Amino acid sequence: MVKYSLVGYDGSDASRRAFEFAVELARCSHGRVRVVSVLQVTEGGADACALMMADNGTERAQELLEELTAIVPEAADLIDVELTLGSPGDVLLSQIEQHGVDHIVIGHTERGALARWLLGSVSGNVLARAHVPVTVVR
């Protein structure tokens, strides 16, 4: 039975649906949901992003928690929230061992072949590399 699901959350419709699914699953299985929002480091360097996160990370985590509980009001007691830096796929996969995650729920957005080639696919990356069950929500 699923006890600790992980959801990658970026505010998109797909990630909202994944979050809602994970919360419902947690209710049914008496589990919890870990929601991770990843700030992807690109140009500007990791040091600049880390400084930005340190300055408003606590405030942003509270905003994220409020956003999630606005989506599913009764979810507050079922979720853990983390904001972090990195590559979304790598961060999500590292959460498995770090936090004892036994299931991943990820949203999927339809993109054209060019967008997938240029940007990659977090869901595809997670599906290919995860060693726990993964549910893709469309």
* Predicted local confidence at residue 56, as pLDDT: 63
Q: Give me the domains of the chain, ranges plus CATH numbers.
A: 4-137 (3.40.50.620)
List, for residues 15-48, the tens digit of each pLDDT value: 999 999 999 999 999 999 999 998 876 655 655 5
Alpha carbon distance 122, 17 (integer Å): 16
* Predicted local confidence at residue 73, as pLDDT: 95
List, for residues 100-114, the tens digit of each pLDDT value: 999 999 987 765 554
Alpha carbon distance 19, 27 (integer Å): 12
Q: pLDDT class for 115, splitting at 50, 70, 90? A: very low
* Predicted local confidence at residue 131, as pLDDT: 96
Model pTM score: 0.84
Mean pLDDT along residues 82-93: 91
Residue 21 tokens read as 């699914």
